[in-house]
């Protein structure tokens, strides 16, 4: 599935199953919540925090998908073509950082 197809699929789902989009502000709060859930898993799986019993059944891939879903909702609501935005962002990063990371002593092995 392409990014464009994902945007179309979310829009179709919202308009047929979800009734309507939540407001942009609500979706921004939901995005923050979902990113927090990813952070919780990361802190326990890759960081120093120990798992709580309720954390053991969480699925990192599913949480990433929740973040992507809400991000796509916000893009759809605000008229952002994520494919185009991503291409522009990659170009920006390539031009800006073409030597920056290679010259970063902190990244040397």
Per-residue model confidence as pLDDT tens digits over 24-35: 999 999 999 999
Tokens 């970063």 belong to residue: 104
Domain boundaries, given as residue ranges, for the chain: 3-104
pLDDT level of residue 43 (50, 70, 90 thresholds): very high
Instruction: Record the pTM.
Output: 0.88
Name the token pair of 107. Answer: 């990244």
Task: Return all residues near 17 (Cβ < 8 A) that are at least 6 apart.
Answer: none
pLDDT 10s digits, 73-104:
999 999 999 999 999 999 999 999 888 888 88
What's the pLDDT at 32?
98
CB 58 within 8 A of CB 22: no
Give CATH for domain 3-104: 1.10.287.1080
Distance from C-alpha of 71 to C-alpha of 34, rounded to nearest angstrom: 10
Q: Is the pLDDT of residue 56 over 80?
A: no
């Amino acid at each position: 599935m392409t990014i464009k197809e994902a945007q179309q699929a979310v829009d179709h789902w919202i308009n047929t199953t979800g009734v309507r989009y939540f407001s942009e502000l609500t979706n921004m709060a939901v995005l923050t919540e979902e990113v927090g859930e990813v952070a919780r898993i990361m802190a326990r799986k890759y960081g120093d925090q120990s798992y709580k019993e309720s954390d053991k059944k969480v699925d990192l891939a599913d949480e990433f998908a929740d973040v992507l879903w809400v991000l796509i909702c916000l893009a759809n609501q605000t008229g952002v073509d994520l494919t185009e935005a991503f291409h522009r962002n990659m170009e920006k990063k390539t031009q800006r950082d073409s030597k920056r990371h290679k010259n970063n002593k902190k990244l040397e092995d």
